[in-house]
Amino acid sequence: MTHNKYFFSGRMVAVRQTPGGGNVSQEFVPESIEAGPHEKDVLPVSQATDPYGARSFGMNPMLLESIRMSDLFWDLAKFTKFEEVVDQIYFNCVYATPWVPGTHQASRNTGMQSAVRGVSNAGTPGTMYTILLKLYIMQLTRQQIKSMLNHTDSPFIKAAGLLYLRIGMADGFKEIWSWFEPLIDDKEQFCIDGTPATKTTIGEYVRRLLTDQVLVVRARFPIERALARLMVSRMPSKAQLSGTRSFALFAPPCIPWSHTACRQAECTLLEACSDENPSQRWPNHSAVPPCELRTTSAT
């Protein structure tokens, strides 16, 4: 357990008054300037709010509160350009967990009026997720997110881009597959918590973000099942799976597709990937997934 040093300080009051910690949206340029960023290109994210009316962007409430009260979050306000914030990921992120490894207790504190005494099991918010909240406030454009997903300097920059989409994606996750699919086979390696025990690849991390409901907000049932079915179409062979920790990481449970809403969600995801400008939403593909996905009979 750690003592919440901000409980009786002015920080908590400041968080209620200024939940953004001094961080503001990035400055957009007129559309006449081709380089951007342009406000019209901003990717819509979750409009969810916390109990006090401030935007939460779909982040975990306990984690969100801890980030807002952290010194790092308030210090990030001095960085106002997208490139500066990406540099902070490059230099400071060595793990991609919500909490600093070893500081968070999953069990709930009880007894002796723990909350009143300011005793917290929240731990210290991780650098990656602290910067992630900064990025939400900045309002990233589609081009900026794409540059993060294609970044070659650090896998943690890619991971931050993936988390930005998975946690904050609005509009029923309609675009999530078109963003994630090109990275499913990415072999670049990194350690999720900074230790060799959690070494993985960007491709495996993509699959975990689409199936693991522990660290991210769960998608609505029809969308979740549609994503699972699309992932099965990209499931690697058994030979490719040899040496991995779990086959379940790649193969979601078998799903009965008699549910009308699920089939409609699958069609919605496919249609979102084949709009008038597929190069923007489906960067590495000129067509939608294989046609058999549209016509597979219900099981």
Of 99, 90, 94, the closest CA to residue 192 belongs to: 94
Least confident piece of the model among 15-29, 59-73, 95-109: 95-109
Residue 250 pLDDT > 50: no
Q: What is the pLDDT of residue 249?
A: 37
Reported as type and span, the H/E element at residue 119 is strand 119-120
- Which segments of 212-291 does DSSP mark as H helices, in order? 221-233, 238-241, 260-272, 278-281
| 160-203 pLDDT tens trace | 999 999 988 876 667 888 899 899 999 999 999 999 999 999 99
From residue 62, how far is each of 81, 129, 190 by CA, in Å?
A: 28, 12, 26
HSE-up of residue 70 (Cα within 13 Å, Cβ side): 23
> What is the 8-class DSSP label of residue 257?
T
What pLDDT was estimated at residue 120?
Answer: 53
What are the Cα distances from residue 52, in Å, to 12, 57, 98?
A: 13, 14, 22
Is 90 exceeded by the pLDDT of residue 236? no
Q: What is the pLDDT, as a whole number, of residue 267? A: 56
Q: Which H helix or E strand runs over 72? A: helix 71-75
pLDDT, tens only, 109-136: 554 444 444 445 678 999 999 999 999 9
Choice among 7-16, 36-45, 90-99, 187-196 with the minimum mean pLDDT: 7-16
Is pLDDT of 297 > 50? no
Looking up tokens 């951007």, which residue turns up? 36
Residue 47 to residue 55: CA distance in whole angstroms: 6
Look at residue 216 in the predicted model and tell me its pLDDT: 59
User: What is the pTM (predicted TM-score) of this model?
Assistant: 0.74
Lowest mean pLDDT among 91-105, 172-186, 231-245, 283-297: 283-297
Is the Cβ–Cβ distance between 170 and 200 less than 8 Å? Answer: no
φ, ψ for residue 182, nearest 5 deg: -65, -15
- Percent of the chain scored above 70 by pLDDT? 63
**108 pLDDT more than 80:** no
Confidence of residue 218 (pLDDT cuts 50, 70, 90): low
Q: Taking the CB of residue 150, how many other CB atoms lie within 10 A of it?
A: 14
The whole-number pLDDT of residue 273 equals 46
DSSP 10: S
Are 142 and 41 in contact by the 8 Å Cβ rule? The answer is yes
Q: From the CB of residue 60, how many other CB atoms can be counted at a distance below 10 Å? A: 16
When the pLDDT of each residue in the chain is averaged and rounded to a whole number, the result is 75
- What is the distance between the alpha carbons of residues 266 and 228, in angstroms, rounded to a whole number? 10
